[in-house]
Structures are given as C-alpha cells and as structure tokens.
Amino acid sequence: MATTLSEAYRDTPLQLKHIIPLDFDSIHYLPESHVWTESVDLLSVDESDVPIIDLHAPDAVELVGNACRKWGMFQVINHGVPRSLLGDAESHVRRLFGLPAHRKLQALRSPGGATGYGVARISPFFSKLMWHEGFTIMGSSLEHAKLLWPQDYEEFCSAMDNYQKQMKSLAYKILVLILKSLEAKDEKTLISTASFQQSEGALQLNSYPCCPNHNQAIGLAPHTDSLLLTILHQNDTKGLQVLRENTGWITVPPVSEALVVNIGDLLNIVSNGQFPTVYHRVVPNETRHRFSMAYFYGPPVDSTVAPLSNLGSPRYRSVTVKEYLSIKNKHLDKAIPLLKTG
Ligand SMILES: C=C1C[C@]23C[C@H]1CC[C@H]2[C@@]12CCC[C@@](C)(C(=O)O1)[C@H]2[C@@H]3C(=O)O
Ligand SMILES: O=C(O)CCC(=O)C(=O)O
Ligand SMILES: [Fe+2]
C-alpha cells in the first residue's frame, strides 16, 4: 500500500503546546512567549526584484530557469487560475479564521496528525512562538470541516477541492518548465510515469492577525519548504520576505493576479544544488490581518528523489520522500546538509 503524505507525518507526534495557537481575539499586547529579540531586527530591504514571469512568454523556460538559479523564487502571471476561484478560496479562509477560538479548536490537529487547525509544524524548533495560526489540508478537508461547520461544511470543502485541483495542475506545468530548463534527460522518470500522476500535495491556510508591537514578533519563522515546489496566494497585505545572500530580507510584494512560486528542498536535490532552496519568513503587520494559501507539491511519498543524471556527479544521495520528511522532522535545516555526498 502506498504511503500518503499525512501518514508520513504520523511518526513525529507533537506536544499540545506546539499545536494550540494563541487566542488572538482576546489578547491586545505581545506576550513574552511571542517576543523575538534577536532574529527580527535582521536587515529588511523594502524593495523587491523577485522576478515576475508571464507563463506564456515564448522564453518562459529560460526565465523560469534563471529565476530558480538566482532566486529560488518568482511570481507567475498569466497562470490560468481564474481570479474568481482565488477570491472564493480566500473568502473561505477568512471565514474559517474569523470563527471564535473555541470553534476553531474543535478542528485542532491531533498530536500525531498532520491536518487541521494549529500552529506551524516547525514550531517545536524555536523557543518563541509565532504570531500565526494555520489550517492544514491533505486531500479532503471533510473531516475537519464537519467539526467546524456541522451543518454547512460542503461549500468550504468544494472550494478547497477546486483550489487544490487548480494548484496541482499549475504546479505540474511549472515543474515541466523547470525540468526543461535543467535539460533533464531523465525527466520522464520524474514527470511522465504513471506514478507521478499520483503526486502528493498539501494545502496550508495561514492567518497572521494584526499584531501589537509587531517589530518584535514573527509571523512565520525563517524556513525552507520541504517538497518540490510551493505555490502561494497572498491577500493584499505584505509580510512575506525572502532571504538574499549579502542583501538581507526582501519583501515579496502582493501583486494582484500573480502567484508566488518557490523551490522546495526536493528540487534542490533534483537540481543537484543548482537551485537553492530559499529561506523565507513572514513578518506581521500592525494594522492589517494577513492571509495566505500555500500549496505544496511533491512526488508520491514512496518514490525516490535523486539529482538528475545530466547534472554532473551527484552532490546529494538519493532518498525517498518519506525518508526525507522524517529526516527534516528531526533535523530541520540540517536535513539537506545531511544528504551531501563526499
Ligand atoms: C506537506 C507539508 C509541508 C509543510 C509540512 C506539511 C504540511 C504543512 C506545511 C508547512 C506550512 C507552514 C510552513 C512549514 C515549514 C510548516 O511548518 O508546515 C510547511 C511544511 C514544509 O514545507 O516542510
Ligand atoms: O504566508 C506566507 O506568505 C508564507 C507561508 C509559508 O511560507 C508557508 O506556508 O510555508
Ligand atoms: Fe514556506
């Protein structure tokens, strides 16, 4: 039996203090538990050069390749996802996080589970808590939606299903462009085998409420995403930042109509290190409530990921997705270095 993505997270149970978010409605100051002293004052640069790529441009392959090499992140326009679908999904996200805390807690992620309401998965690795609440979906959202809205969960579920379907097909298109840019000879084994049609995905809904004393808080701590690539929709509130060597944290501004794409750890491996996996973080806002939806796209959990054969001698050993996630759950940022060969 094939392992599912949620099963891959089951062997790392968490403590409740690493699952339950703050009740943001009832708190109007920044508690000590959420004060980040050092990391936040790292240089923030408020101008952005993150490329914006028209997916139908004749040179899209080259543009995507350059952006992956230089940034590991870019925005896409002309992506074919209808504006109405994005708006619809966003309104459901607002409705979900707008529920009172006691209702949201009904759908709390279980300690051994991967889906439902809770803080970010990476929280146990940091001594301070984040100004953030999330809701994770892997496949169907039915189980948790029923707990949130016993009478009317259907609209939410179908909006999330549609959204994931659109994201999956867009992610596949972008992956094909990326593999072409790597001139992958063995791309077929990665993308057109029957098994890749059963690619895995997860949808993470994020909420960053207005934050008192926001300069001392962090919305989502610096991290890289684990799977192949992530497609992100952000509402019209900035907060996402990407770390650029020798420069600092650069804001990735919301561009209406655009979706943000970033390289994940598995593409770092597949590209034999040609594409960096990008550290990114979210800084909270004092007066605006920020929402985002991140779709994580990866190969089947039991499949093996390795550097493409045309990219020189492999700098990483091959690894199954399942094994990689388990290494990442234990070692976070050290997961990729642990796979280095020689
Ligand atoms: C399939 C995924 C991808 C996950 C874990 C699991 C479901 C939730 C995703 C996130 C979402 C928030 C940031 C992150 C770093 C986290 O803490 O949870 C992501 C993580 C990853 O990319 O590793
Ligand atoms: O909210 C954002 O802009 C980023 C979210 C993110 O990095 C994630 O969910 O992995
Ligand atoms: Fe992320």
Instruction: Give 3-state DSSP helix, strand, coil % of the chain, rounded to 5.
Output: 35, 20, 45
SS3 assignment, position 106:
helix
Ligand 1, atom 2, residue with closest C-alpha: 202
Distance (Å, rounded) from C-alpha 249 to C-alpha 150?
42
- DSSP per residue, 164-183: HHHHHHHHHHHHHHHHHHTT
148 Cβ closer than 6 Å to some ligand 1 atom: no
Is residue 173 classed exposed, middle or buried when 0-12, 13-18 and 19+ CB atoms within 10 A define those classes? middle
pLDDT of residue 48: 55
**Atom 3 in ligand 2: residue holding the nearest Cα:** 240
Domains and CATH numbers, the chain: 6-339 (2.60.120.330)
Closest CA to 149 of 139, 140, 161, 141: 141
Q: Pocket of ligand 1, candidates 296, 297, 336: which has the most ligand atoms within 8 Å of its Cβ, to mutate?
A: 296
pLDDT of residue 49: 82
Ligand 2 atom nearest residue 260's Cα: 3
Q: Is the CB of 208 under 6 A from ligand 1?
A: no
Check pocket membership of 282 for ligand 2, CB cut-off 6 A.
yes
Burial label for 162, CB within 10 Å (0-12, 13-18, 19+), is middle
**pTM of the predicted model as reported, rounded to 2 decimal places:** 0.95
Ligand 2, atom 9: closest residue by C-alpha:
294
Q: Give the Å distance between the CA of 224 and the centre of ligand 1.
A: 9
Which tokens is 94 given?
A: 């607002």
Ligand 2 pocket check for 220: Cβ under 6 Å: yes
Cα-to-centroid distance, 138 and ligand 2 (Å): 16
Please name every residue paired with 295 in a beta bridge, in sequence order, or none if there are none.
203, 231
How confident is the model at residue 91, as a pLDDT? Answer: 98
Ligand 1: which atom is nearest the Cα of residue 230?
22
Annotated catalytic residue within 109, 121, 281, 290: 290
Q: What residues of the chain score a pLDDT lower than 50?
A: 192-195
- The predicted pLDDT at position 248 comes to 87
Atom from ligand 1 closest to the CA of residue 120: 17
As a whole number of angstroms, the distance between CA 296 and CA 121 comes to: 14
For residues 231 and 170, what is the distance between their CA atoms, to the nearest angstrom? Answer: 9
Is the beta carbon of 319 within 6 A of some atom in ligand 2?
A: no
CA–centroid distance, residue 332 to ligand 3 (Å): 13
Q: How far is the CA of 7 from the centre of ligand 1 (A)?
A: 14
* Nearest atom of ligand 1 to the alpha carbon of 201: 1
Partner residues linked to 229 by β-bridges? 263, 297
Give the closest residue to 77 by CA, choosing from 254, 331, 205, 237: 254
CA 156 from centroid of its chain's CA atoms:
20
